Amino acid sequence: MEIIQQFLACLNAHDVDGLCALMTNDHTFVDSIGSTIHGRGEMHRAWTGYFRLFPDYKIVSEDLLQTGNTIAVFGRASATYSPSGHMYKDHHWEVPAAWKAVIKDNLIAEWHVYADNYKTVRMIKGV
């Protein structure tokens, strides 16, 4: 489970290079509405953009469970939607969340997000 602890530390530090170093080249990311991103290079661009929109994004891990090469993370995700760089208090969200990681060759081959922040962020954006 050390790989997950490292991955979460990089996420919370917004260390995109560190995150990508912990991924397989053919890494697959699946978000909470089923959209997917494939490949380490695409994930570098995606995380860079995400941290620009949510500059205080954070995961708090409460429980970790492992079965074979799959690790489940349960906890909370929070951030402030801030595309302009202004951290408005009413643009902050926090939700219960879960994540699933599939480990291959001691790297993260898949990262699935199970968090219902999509509706919250759409409301903040006024969409």
**Overall pTM surpassing 0.75 (yes/no):** yes
Q: For 50, which DSSP code?
A: H
| Chain segment 33-76, per-residue pLDDT in tens | 889 999 999 999 999 999 999 999 999 999 999 999 999 999 99
Domains parsed from the chain with CATH numbers: 2-125 (3.10.450.50)
| Angle, CA 47 vertex, CA 43 and CA 48 arms, to 5° | 115
Give 98-123 pLDDT, tens digit per residue.
999 999 999 999 999 998 765 566 56
**Spatial distance between the Cα atoms of 69 and 66, rounded to a whole number of angstroms:** 7
